[in-house]
Structure 1
Amino acid sequence: MKTQYLKVASFCAALSLIGCNTSKHKKANTNLNKVHFVLTDTGQDKFYDNEGNQIDEPSKEDAFYGQDAQFKGIESSYQDNGDGTVTDLNTGLMWQKTPDFKRHNFYDAFNYVENLEIGGYTDWRMPTIKELYSLLNSNGELYPQDLEKSQPYLNTDYFDFEYDKRMPFAGQYWSSTKYVKGPLQNIKMEGAFGFNFADGHIKAYETGLYFDGSKGVHDPGNNVRAVRGKENVYGVNNFVDNKNGTITDKATGLMWQKADNGKTYNWAEALQVAKNRKIAGYEDWRVPNTKELQSIVDYDKKTFPAIDENFFECTEDSWFWSSTTQGDFKYTACYVAFGKAYSKDNSSATEYYDWHGAGAQRSDPKSGKIEDYLLESVNAADSLRIKNYVRLVRDFN
């Protein structure tokens, strides 16, 4: 069980004192709630095998021991403020409850947010990709032909969500985080990250500009869910090199394996590696879940890999397994790309490019051979790998 870093009750009391002020002027200028970099649990509470079958909870001797649902983290906790806003009681961030469900291009999205007034507050902003990903609930599952049966990767008890009926898989929401390591898509386009609450992926999307700043020919749009709260707190790491092959992030309370071992594994093998590994005298290592793994991505670094190399050693062209099964295709597990996230234009194209950016979170088959999987289409053709790298984690406290 992860250590709870917040005294939620006292935090809620502080929020209630702030919330009792009904003056529009005062609410708009109230000091922002204190923000905490608290990683909450992904919400995944079921166990799966390589084929995506639901199984009983594995014991430590079983093949699939160590997956996401095995380790319960801090439970997500929200408060509906009754004024169109929702407060995350763990992080302190306040969110827009109901988006306008309109697609904005990247730069127009900032104008939209700057002109928002919700609950009497006017200091709304675009979330970073780490802030946006904090809302992830990994119990999502998309049934394109049966949206009533579908569940977005979001807690809909508190947040409103609508599927695009024409393209149900297109539930992308912008973050403020631009892709700074280079151009996307045929080495031309400027990108910015977003999270898709319909299918549970982080990807970089076209902003409408070429990477040189000139106007692009394609100007796509994504949805927007605004946030308010002190900036540069959630998602900001505080790494310490323990000089014993481990790195501690004092911001999250997690201890990390400093260097990957340069080897790749299928998903079950990665879980086995964690079970058998002893580093710096510790034996309680695990494969990180998606929120934990994404927490150490360096989105501001302009070179590959997308991790702070002042602390970590990382194979450059690397994708790293998480312990989290992907909800739509349960025979796949989620990974985070710390190197280029390759894809191609469509299933008939032959050349792969850095389509979604280092820092993307996608999924790969847990086992088998690449040719066994027909996941490409006229709209999606991500590069697949059966074997990925692994960087282990443990709770520091």
Structure 2
Amino acid sequence: MQQSHLKLKNEEADKQSILLSEKISRMEKQNNSGVPKNKDFNSDLQNMELNQTISSDSLNDFQKGVWTDPETGLMWSRISIGQQWVDGKCKGIATHVDWKQAEELCKEMRLGKFYDWRLPTINELHTLMIKDRKGYTANTNLLFQPNIGIWGFYWSSKQIMPKVAQGVDFDTGCIAKCNYFDFRGYVRAVRKSCEASK
């Protein structure tokens, strides 16, 4: 009975993933973001070396497309909204969305069979930022870029005034604020890891 329950849960997660992908496609068309569609971001090279150095405890989650930061205990999506995790690889490129869409899409995310993804706070997102430099504090093999050669602006959950929210620009290594009706950014979902809540 437990196996059939797990099978139903996996099927539900697959359905949710398909629905989320369809919703993102509709948003891309609506936003006219000009982002090319169906381009694969090949992650073989990034996974090759890292799988040899990651701890066996983390390997299972890592292969599901998630990474737990040992410093903060936060579990991060290795991919951004718009990309897909297929057979242990990052596929596609991330989608530009406005801040309201960012919150909604995180709640609908089902990566790694977790159902409690959310938009990170500005302090959480800041832990991934290298001040005044492009890139992430995490090894570049741990978190995939939204597109080849781009680090991008990522939304946080922090609204600082009406119509203005904060995020991190990983191309310049700084915290930025943007009008969330006029601007679109990338989204990296986060959740509290099971280990952190013990």
TM-score interval for Structure 1 and Structure 2 normalised by the shorter chain: 0.5 to 0.7
Give identity over the alignment, percent.
26
TM-score, normalised with respect to structure 1: 0.29
The partner residue of 2:70 within 250, 260, 277 is 250
The corresponding residue for 2:16 is none
The partner residue of 2:163 within 311, 331, 354 is 331
Shift of 1:332: 0.4
The partner residue of 2:176 within 362, 379, 383 is 362
Say which one has the larger Rg: 1
Residues 77-226 of structure 1: matches in 2 within 5 Å? none
The corresponding residue for 1:305 is 135
Structure 1, unmatched stretches of 5+, are: 1-239, 340-357, 370-385
Kindly indicate whether residue 167 of structure 2 is the aligned counterpart of residue 395 of structure 1.
no
TM-score, normalised with respect to structure 2: 0.56
Give the conservation status (yes or no) of the 8 Å contact 1:244–1:280.
Answer: yes
Kindly indicate whether residue 88 of structure 2 is the aligned counterpart of residue 274 of structure 1.
no
Equivalent residue letter for 1:318: G
Structure with greater contact order relative to length (CA < 8 Å, sep ≥ 6): 2
**Aligned equivalents of 1:247 and 1:318: distance in 2?**
19
Shift of 1:305: 3.0
The structure with the greater share of residues assigned to helix is 2
**Aligned equivalents of 1:395 and 1:273: distance in 2?**
17
**Aligned equivalents of 1:338 and 1:243: distance in 2?**
24
**Aligned equivalents of 2:117 and 2:173: distance in 1?**
23
Equivalent residue letter for 1:305: G
Q: Which runs of 4+ in 1 moved over 2 A?
A: 304-308
Give the conservation status (yes or no) of the 8 Å contact 1:294–1:359.
Answer: no
Q: How many residues align?
A: 120
SS at match of 1:394: strand
**Aligned equivalents of 2:140 and 2:118: distance in 1?**
22
SS at match of 2:79: coil
Structure 2, unmatched stretches of 5+, are: 1-57, 84-93
Shift of 1:251: 1.3
**Aligned equivalents of 2:135 and 2:73: distance in 1?**
23
Shift of 1:267: 0.6
Equivalent residue letter for 2:79: A
